[in-house]
Structure 1
């Protein structure tokens, strides 16, 4: 019996495979899946079982999930296709007889009002409808969503957003991946809903101040109306649909929908989460 990790060519999925290996799971008991197995050749070279899985092709899922005991269902990225893709994956997990599906959901998915939250809520509901033993890993934002923008932020001297004074419990992908690995390798998680986020919540103004402190350059936070932020993002080359999703997420942040003080992430990984200042310093190296 094995642990299957979907989306292993992506950042969160790949880090989860690494976390499973670090926890001592034999490589032969880990199945890493991707639409393009060439992108996960490095795992195959290390003895991890590699299988092709495309959520739009149910036949690939049946083969990829064969013999699975536990499954990490990493949410897909294309928002308008996400729910249908996830339903096919859940159906395949049921057919494979998995004992647990760990699903990477989003903070407060049951009540949050963003476009992203709606897709996660629909997936959670489908898991319950199919009566799959499942655990919801409701991840807040990734710190990398901001550290990846550091060159642009430093060039422009500002963090731009529409989150107002909303607090964000962002954590690193590595911390979320470690939590997923813990859930996949220990017992007692079926039926649980974990609200996962970093220990140090911050506003975007706080983020700007932290970047200033790390770089010695004055960085400010510019809070924009939603429409203006959408135009800024479009002007930076983002597709209109993605710009809409990101602006919508910022408005959710303003409502507190990406804040949690549950402590679930810290408890799962058994240590404090990575501080934002450390993530910024790492990205600047």
Structure 2
């Protein structure tokens, strides 16, 4: 169907009102850049901002790397990127032809728009199509090498970037991040429903900021509402991990040292995907 401006609400293309119903087909899947060989793509998404998608993405990358897999991170949050700071990377290396991702201390390739800016706090004031185009380029114009997993850190919402990723990048699984608040869960369900409409495979939820532990007495405080347990079912999907508010983890992220975080999580990801994964 087309809106009054002649833009298809399904494919997003300008078609002067000629596209409709059965005639509208989604755009084709894109191939990763050049010699890249990527076995599995996991999108980390949420309808809600501020629930910790980047924290979850970084923890998943660090722990999969510790398990012996080759892992990369595509930062698709073009206007609010935080992955480079967490990993302490500043610039992509010079290259001819395809771009090369930056490499973290432990050898995790990372691509983010912040790695292409002169200053990390420089704003990106782009409209939706340009933002979605940049994400596509990070898939098609980057030499990722050979990876067992590429993790895509998604922006909040259900707009241009999530639509582009789910339609044009072959996503093997989606991890949905929420916090305990009913308000957050309500908004996050929008992302779950979007994934269902796009027939994208949902792996489960991560409940972030579930509780804080008193450093003196060890008592747990559920600041944002009732915390779940790993393995619980939320909206028909399993809870993969329940993560606390952790002051030390925050310090490590602020100092670009997320790879030193001792948190051991996401060991079940390879089993969930029933993969063709191969330890690299």
With the shorter chain as reference, the TM-score category is 0.3 to 0.5
Which of the pair has the greater relative contact order for Cα pairs under 8 Å at 6+ separation? 2
